[in-house]
Amino acid sequence: MKESAKSNTLSLVTAALFTALIVVCSQIAIPMPTQVSLTLQTFGVALCGYVLGVKWGLASIITYVLLGTVGVPVFSGFRGGVQVLFGASGGFIFGFIFFVLLCGISLLVKNKGLKVLLGLGGLVICHIIGIIQFAIVYKTDIISSFLMVSAPYLIKDIISVALAFFLSLYIRKLLSKIHYS
């Protein structure tokens, strides 16, 4: 097998594994009264971007979103379908795309602090989209939405981004030993 074909196959398999990891992280959930569960999704999504980079990270998260869209129960609480994407928590799911993108872009910079800041920037975008969609769905103001579906999760999410970044350093080192590019 040619080296580039081997690398592409390894990248594809790794992206599929990260899609599965995000599914598992989605199911580790504590239901909340706002219909936006407390999950490990932000950790899984950040780790996906930090390990896979832009191209394969986006492939992984878009696969996750598409699986959920067609009804596969991959979203938190074993839910799936278009109605989830346009429901209370759907904005966060759309936000995962930008979150992975910024975590993936961080692989292009050398400064570790900037890498974490890019991940946190992706988290902020994810929260903003989630807050706006929640406000629209429940016909409430942005401040109330922030207080209900963002503020209670921020500390957990910030810690998740930092942990994902540091774990990604180890995982990328392991993957580089098997010629992951």
Q: Kindly state the helix (H) or strand (E) to which residue 139 belongs, with its residue range.
A: none
Helix (H, G, I), strand (E, B), or coil: what is residue 38?
A: strand
Q: Considering the chain, what percentage of its residues have pLDDT values greater than 90?
A: 83
CA atoms of 57 and 69, how far apart (whole Å): 18
What residues does each domain of the chain span? 3-173
Statement: residue 174 has pLDDT above 60? yes
Q: What is the mean pLDDT of the chain?
A: 93
Residue that is written with structure tokens 């609480």 in the block: 77
Statement: residue 176 has pLDDT above 90? no
State whether the Cα torsion 85-89-95-100 is positive or negative.
negative
Q: pLDDT, tens digit, for every residue of 64-89? A: 999 999 999 999 999 999 999 999 99
Q: Which pLDDT belongs to residue 70?
A: 97
Q: pLDDT, tens digit, for every residue of 94-152? A: 999 999 999 999 999 999 999 999 999 999 999 999 999 999 999 999 999 999 999 99
Domain 3-173 fold: Arp2/3 complex 21 kDa subunit ARPC3 (1.10.1760)
Statement: residue 2 has pLDDT above 70? no
Q: Which pLDDT belongs to residue 3?
A: 60
Q: Considering the chain, what percentage of its residues have pLDDT values greater than 70?
A: 97
Could you tell me the two tokens for 168? 């990604």
